[in-house]
Amino acid sequence: SAVISQKPSRDICQRGTSLTIQCQVDSQVTMMFWYRQQPGQSLTLIATANQGSEATYESGFVIDKFPISRPNLTFSTLTVSNMSPEDSSIYLCSVTKPRWVQGPTDTQYFGPGTRLTVL
Amino acid sequence: KQEVTQIPAALSVPEGENLVLNCSFTDSAIYNLQWFRQDPGKGLTSLLLIQSSQREQTSGRLNASLDKSSGRSTLYIAASQPGDSATYLCAVRRISGAGSYQLTFGKGTKLSVIP
């Protein structure tokens, strides 16, 4: 398995401000992802965080709104910029581990999430 | 575009009962299917993963089946306990054209096991 921590666990922010969420994993991982879970909705992939290069964003998500960094194999940040109430969601970090560690299953592990409320 | 549907949206059962949660997906070209559990205010815990070449996986009281051709999976929970109360999410992975692995989630089934 993988032990994933996220900071902060929750926050209440004002409209127009930005929040940076941190994701730390206990061991080397291959892929890191950021998901959003809006109230009553399923999880939606925001982007894949690539080490040392720009993140790969899914349709409907852009770098200016959700800048992502991944400076090393075990750490990533997601920033929610210029927030509006529509950004109120749970944001989850997710990882897969190298196949030489967990075999060819590509099991995906999730962090505890960051609950964001924008007023 | 892959769509994942979970039925029912909510389920309430008495303790000790066996139950089945359903998941269907529209595109059968999947790499694998994963069942998760989400407790209120918490992240996701992986329960079972079924590769596209497999028919079922078992872990303790849980058994997950996969019928890729019909686009269906079921999660069977035997002898349910109050501690099983949570939201259960189904997710499928397909290899995108770019080569990245993308999970598509259903909205989940909220299970309540009554003591």
Count of CB atoms within 10 A of residue B8's CB? 11
pLDDT the model gives residue B115: 94
For residue A40 the two structure tokens come to: 């009553």
Do you know the residue count of chain A?
119
Q: What percent of chain A has pLDDT over 70?
A: 92
Report CB contact under 8 Å: A45, B103: yes
The string of pLDDT tens digits covering residues B10-46 is 999 999 999 999 999 999 888 889 999 999 877 899 9
Quick check: B58 contacting A, CB < 8 Å?
A: no
Tokens in use for A8? 């902060």
Question: Which of A94, A110, A115 is opposite residue B41, by nearest beta carbon?
Answer: A115
B60: helix, strand or coil:
coil
Q: Does B97 touch chain A (CB under 8 A)?
A: no
In angstroms, what separates the C-alpha of A81 from chain B's closest C-alpha?
23
The percent of residues above 70 in pLDDT, for chain B, comes to 94
So what's the pLDDT on residue B97?
57
Average pLDDT, integer, range B37-59: 90
Segment A18-31 mean pLDDT: 91
Measured between CB atoms, does B89 come within 8 Å of chain A? yes
Q: What is the mean pLDDT of residues A99-118?
A: 80
* Interface check B19 vs A, CB under 8 A: no
Instruction: List pLDDT tens digits, range A89-108.
Output: 999 999 987 665 566 566 78
Q: Is A74 left (phi over 0), alpha (psi -120 to 50) or beta?
A: alpha
pLDDT of A12 > 70? The answer is: yes
- In sequence order, the 6+-apart residues with CB closer than 8 A to the CB of B28 are B68, B69, B70, B71
Q: And the tokens for A70?
A: 């991944």
pLDDT digits (tens, 9 = 90+) for A51-91: 888 899 998 999 999 999 999 989 999 999 999 999 999 99
Q: Kindly calculate the radius of gyration of chain B based on its CA atoms and give it in whole angstroms.
A: 14
Tokens of A7: 């900071």
What CA–CA distance (Å, rounded) separates A77 from A17? 16
